[in-house]
Amino acid sequence: MREYLLTLCITAAVTYLLTGPVRKFAIVAGAMPEIRARDVHREPTPRLGGIAMFFGLCAGLLVADHLTNLNQVFAESNEPRALLSGAALIWLIGVLDDKFEIDALIKLGGQMIAAGVMVVQGLTILWLPIPGVGNVALTQWQGTLLTVALVVITINAVNFVDGLDGLAAGMVCMAAAAFFLYAYRIWYSYGIEAAAPATLFAAILMGMCLGFLPHNIHPARIFMGDSGSMLIGLVLAAGAISITGQVDPDALALFTGSEKAAVHQTVPVYIPLLLPLTIIAVPAADLVLAIVRRTWRGQSPFAADRGHLHHRLLEIGHSHSRAVLIMYFWSALIGFGALAYSVNSASMWIVLGVVFLSAVGLVLLLLPRFTPRVPLWAQRFVPPRYRRRAVPARTAPAPAARAPAGGAVREPAGGGAQAHGSTALSELERSSRFLAHEKERA
């Protein structure tokens, strides 16, 4: 565990220290596009944050290669090198997209090539644990197609959810934390060394996200861009593929009594990883809804819009920070709920706890629609948005000036038009105040 923590800390430190210089480089290189209609931020913000995250990945792999216990992962498996090759390719495509806005189909082709590079080097799904059936071996073509599909789905799911400051990095960090605990348990509790690469990938991914988050929390000073979102999506997919398709349930059968029991024990995480990953269930749901929504409108599935889940949270009244925290909450609930269920699936308290927290999450989602108003005596103890505002008193019209003795009424300086304009302006102000008050009461 200490070596994993050391790798995580070094990855986070390298990513954090490089993000500042990368931000200056992005500004000089012109990777700071103008505000688009679908954007939430109000000021142009540089991209290319994925550069710092990629070098953090390289630093984490380099440190792990020189540690006593983690060095065995590199000696006995080719998966770290496969991950680095695919990550370098997808990172280069993301950098080009952050600078030149390449076509969506070209990005899709690059994602498939990066997945194919990892498959060629051995990072692929060899078998699937099926509940009630047991271990099902896959042919080479079946494993290749399924691996490429999982990589592409995960990359685009993370890319689609990257719409608010700190959202993608925080959600992937929580998913990586849950995945790390699961893979670490498989390795050290059962002694299955095939889970070691996935454990290392999850630790490095946590370091990448934690190192970048301080620069990306609202208001963000830099965005990770496609170079970062596609990179962390690929690393997350690589860990899931490694532990799903490389860990043989026959090895777990030695501890659980039978192969079917072993499959049932790992079902809470294995099966959702295929439909696709439970740990990114929220981004995956956003991806599916976006494809259906855009196809229904006759648009390309890769056409950007403002219909994502985080955009909807802003539309119903949530602030930027609250929308991000709500997405964090659901990601943590699904990921750690599946983790807890995989540890002890016979406990009803886990199921009841997940149901209760889901109800809490629904209340948080609907909070802007039910904004309570506290009594007058308690207003000083609550935030301003919960206080009652007094009705603005209508100002009485000014008394007309008496006519002079000669009978002629003097016009004010500037003529009657100016006086009439000021009267109309005051009426407009009163009307706007009244409408604002009625809206506040509603």
DSSP code per residue over 251-306 = HHHHHHSSHHHHHHHHHHHHHHHTSS-GGGHHHHHHHHHHHHHHHHTT--TT---S
| List of residues 6+ apart from 406 with CB closer than 8 A | none
Rg (CA), the chain: 28
Do the Cβ atoms of 12 and 211 come closer than 8 Å? yes
Q: Tell me: is residue 226 an annotated ligand-binding position.
A: yes
What distance lies between CA 398 and its chain's CA centroid? 58
Residue 305 contacts residue 163 (beta carbons within 8 Å): no
Rounded Cα–Cα distance for residues 222 and 214 (Å): 10
Q: Which two tokens stand for residue 360?
A: 């809490």
3-state secondary structure of 129: strand
Cβ atoms < 10 Å from Cβ of 86: 27
384: Cβ–Cβ under 8 A, 6 or more apart, which residues? none
Q: Which residues are annotated as a binding site?
A: 159, 226
Q: Which residues are annotated as a binding site for Mg(2+)?
A: 159, 226
